[in-house]
Chains A and B, each alone.
Chain A
Amino acid sequence: MNACYIKKILVMNIENTQSQMRKGILEFCILSIIRRGEAYPSDIVEEMKSANLHILEGTLYPLLTRLKNSDMLTYRWVESNSGPPRKYFSLTEKGLSFYKELEATWSELANAVHALANKTDSMPDTTNQNPSF
């Protein structure tokens, strides 16, 4: 039972880290989709799915609302010939500058992560070095 509990925490932590990682880039991903033009939430989901990034629609809506409420996004109603009118989201100027900052951060981060993750040479051996005090 104890082992099981530990395992559960371990699993949760992995999931948690994964979701944290995803969450960090989610806003950036959404903004980079909307940057290209007005977007409808389910299109965004599709777009992300095609990029092999799975997201629940239920997650997207609160995110979009949050972004909209912080003035990053704006939307307009578009009549649809089938079903109710749709909300199409687009970037505001604030959102665009926000996106650019995120992009810069991301490329830095990606470079750093890439560089770090791809380094195959082993870490310099510290055990043999003498501390120079």
Chain B
Amino acid sequence: MKKIININFHGRVVPIEETAYDILKQYIESLRKHFANEEGRDEIVNDIENRFAELFSYRLQKGSTCITDDDVNTIITSMGRPEDLEKEDMSQNSATSETNSGAGRQSFSQQQYVPEEPRNLYRAENDKILGGVCAGLAAYLRIDPSIVRIIYALIILGSFGFGFLLYIILWIVLPPKSLAATVRKRLYRNPDSRVIAGVASGMAAYFNIQVWIPRLIFALPLILGIITSIFRNAWFDFDPAPVFFTGGFGGTLFVIYIILWIVLPEATTASEKLEMRGEKVDLESIKNTIKSDLEGLKYRARDVSAEMRERAQEFTKDVKQATQHFASEAAPVARRTGSGIGHVIGVLFKAFFLFIAGIMAFALIMFLIGLLFSGAGAFPFRSYLVSGVWQNFLAWTSLVLFLCIPVIALLTWLIRRIMGVRSRNNYLGYAFGSLWVIGLISFIIFISMLLNNFRTRASMEDELNITQPSTGKIIVRTTEGKVSYYGSDWFGFDWNNNGPFYSLNEDSVMMNTVRVNFTKSQDSNYHVQRVRFSHGNSPAVAKSLASQIQFDIQQKDSFLYLPQGFAITPTQKFRNQQVLIVVEIPVGKRIIMNNSIEDYHWFNINVNRRHSHWDNEGDDYWSDYNPVASDVEYIMTDKGLERTQKIKEGSDEEDNDNTPHEGYRYKGKTDSLKHKKIKDTIKPKATASVINPANAESKKPFLLQKEEWKEISGNSSLKEPGNDSFYSPFNILSKMM
């Protein structure tokens, strides 16, 4: 009964009896000692081990379950034990063999040190990307060619091509030679496990670490970019600019990756793959390496001076020869060089496209994440838009499937590639794909259902009773309500009071899609018409929704108070309800529009372009401005409204004054007349100070009534952000859950 162990012998898993393994180990060790003074010791032992591995695999292929003691002993006998080899080799040291034979065999290991052949600088013929110069240097210095190549690539980059000139000179000067591998471990690109070019997995094999570590390091800037942008979105600091390579760190890593891609050869054959993994680094091998290095150093120091002299003498001869050689080599090398340069250019092209593709993919992810968050941001508005279980379901489906799935799929793909997971089937891909298609379909259905709700429009027109003002003048303004509304930062979009609504919560939304128009009265009385609009999926629904709008006007002598807006409840739904107030002014009477009217925002959703409106103007865009300038007194004449006071500055306005047209709209420059909005200024005092200059200009003192003052100052309990008008990501998430 024997224990069988698995050993990794020259890249192959070999089941072997433990005792047989001990025999093998002992034998190899004795060979190592035997060839200690041989120049190519490692190579010889390596070759013999290789032969062992081959014979083992033959034995295993023949059906043996494991390698036994007998197997190992048979091979050892055919190979020859050190003693046998010694016998055969003895003639080599014929001078000493005579005495040796008498003194016994132990003295053999105490042989004098045989200096290794002075090493020369060659071009490596068997291991090259361009001319083998780097590999030759590496062989001379006894280091990994890849390291020399990396350093050389950096030198070429840093010296703006001088390094390349030096390379060509060395290429011509150095004689080519097929060099034996000096190191047993080399940096390769690993084609078996790669995401882009196998650089990271090659590094992992070289440093004997998990493959995801270098991958993660290379992918870090990308991942960091995604994470930071998620957080940016989450905190409403909306920044669509993709931070693809976060700073110089990411850029440097990218350049390093490209250099490695160019410089490192791909491990294609089994022997190269063995070299890529190298042998296990243990104490013994480290000791050996250091020992041989120290021995080498002694001779190298001596050799270098001798070599330099020799080289100098032979230089001219060499150059001549080498040039000839170079020329004769030109034909085959030209091909290989071509392929080498082609490789470099190819990699650069690939890198370029990778870069572009990366940026595009990244931008796509960012876009999706942005959409996802704005989709989640629309959540509070959902109950006003969506009706019924079916639509709710569709809304959720499209949000989750249409927007979440691509993000999740991309992240999954990235993580799987980094972790090196490879599935043979594409079930996950199909699953993601079909779920996304379902999401897309439900999204389309959802959107079309939503649009259907806005298909028809209906209006309710009624006249409001007002008493004729004694002063012959009407001042139109909004009530300073009990609550002041702020343009809250609505999911990254700073409406800055330009939104179509003031406030949004679960109970109601305050719409301010109100417009005030002025027209000439047919008789000598003021009239006020109220037109309420609503959209709906049928005229009847639209009509009933329009009638549900609560918008009542109060009058205090010459003051006409309009509500700040009207509320919509979730049961009413948002169907683009609008209110139009038409003030009919008799000829000779005056009108002033307070600038609070400008806080109304007409806002029109027009799904069906075919139908005509009662009032076409302003329907196609957000008409944030009113036909008349605020806080300016107008008088109705036969031609239309005219200012009672000419404005001193700005001739443009006068031109517009003289050419009033249908609807009494000032086409241009009305913005220049716009005053600072009262709403924006929190303090009542500021409110007054804004109003006053405007009134002073018109030379008609605008008197604030005492109650009004109180009303304004009573308002100082202002709504703080962070109440229900403020939505934090946690708020949204907790609502979504």
Say if the beta carbon of B655 comes within 8 Å of chain A: no
Which residues on A sit within 8 Å (CB–CB) of B51? 41-42, 57, 61
Residue-wise interface mask of B (98-123) relative to A, using a CB-CB cutoff of 8 A (1 in contact, 0 not): 00011000000000000001000000
Say if the beta carbon of B12 comes within 8 Å of chain A: yes
Say if the beta carbon of B89 comes within 8 Å of chain A: yes
Partner among B43, B54, B78, B87 whose Cβ is within 8 Å of the Cβ of A19? B87
Partner among B11, B31, B50, B271 whose Cβ is within 8 Å of the Cβ of A58? B31
Q: B79–A87 contact, CB under 8 A?
A: no
Which residues on A sit within 8 Å (CB–CB) of B88? 19, 22-23, 55-56, 59
Q: How far is the CA of A95 from the CA of B708 in the complex (A)?
A: 114
Given A65-B43, A84-B10 in contact, is the A19-B90 Cβ separation under 8 Å? yes
Selected interface stretch from A8-16, A29-37, A101-109, A113-121: A8-16
Q: A56–B84 contact, CB under 8 A?
A: yes
Residue-wise interface mask of B (268-289) relative to A, using a CB-CB cutoff of 8 A (1 in contact, 0 not): 0111001000000000000000
Say if the beta carbon of B91 comes within 8 Å of chain A: yes
Say if the beta carbon of A111 comes within 8 Å of chain B: no
Kindly identify, within residues 74 to 95 of chain B, every residue whose CB is under 8 Å from any CB belonging to chain A.
78-82, 84-85, 87-92, 94
Given A83-B12, A85-B270 in contact, is the A61-B57 Cβ separation under 8 Å? no
Closest chain A residue, CB of each to CB of B273: A85
List the count of A-B residue pairs having beta carbons below 8 Å apart.
111
Given A15-B87, A16-B90, A20-B94 in contact, is the A57-B79 Cβ separation under 8 Å? yes
Partner among A20, A24, A64, A84 whose Cβ is within 8 Å of the Cβ of B54? A84
Which residues on A sit within 8 Å (CB–CB) of B269? 77, 79, 85
Which residues on B sit within 8 Å (CB–CB) of A87? 47, 50
Distance in Å: Cβ of A129 to nearest Cβ of chain B? 36
Which residues on A sit within 8 Å (CB–CB) of B85? 56, 58-59, 62
Q: B40–A58 contact, CB under 8 A?
A: no
Distance in Å: Cβ of B4 to nearest Cβ of chain A? 20
Max chain A C-beta neighbours (<10 A), residue from B48, B56, B88, B271: B88
Distance in Å: Cβ of B325 to nearest Cβ of chain A? 12
Classify the interface of chain B: helix, strand, loop or mixed: helix
Say if the beta carbon of A69 comes within 8 Å of chain B: yes
Say if the beta carbon of B58 comes within 8 Å of chain A: yes
Q: How far is the CA of A123 from the CA of B506 in the complex (A)?
A: 132
User: Interface range on chain B: under 10, 10 to 19, 20 to 34, or 35 or more?
Assistant: 35 or more
Closest chain B residue, CB of each to CB of A87: B47
Which residues on B sit within 8 Å (CB–CB) of A22? 88
Q: A12–B101 contact, CB under 8 A?
A: yes
Distance in Å: Cβ of A131 to nearest Cβ of chain B? 35
Say if the beta carbon of B35 comes within 8 Å of chain A: yes
Which residues on B sit within 8 Å (CB–CB) of A7? none
- The 5 tightest CB contacts between A and B, nearest first, are A56-B80, A58-B80, A83-B54, A83-B57, A20-B91
- B residues with a Cβ closer than 8 A to A are 10-12, 31, 35, 38-40, 43-44, 47-48, 50-51, 53-58, 61, 78-82, 84-85, 87-92, 94, 97, 101-102, 117, 126, 177-178, 180, 269-271, 274
Q: A76-B126, A83-B56 are in contact. List 18 more A-B contacts (CB 8 A).
A: A12-B101, A16-B97, A19-B87, A19-B90, A20-B94, A23-B91, A57-B78, A58-B31, A59-B80, A59-B89, A61-B51, A65-B47, A66-B39, A68-B40, A77-B271, A83-B12, A84-B50, A86-B54
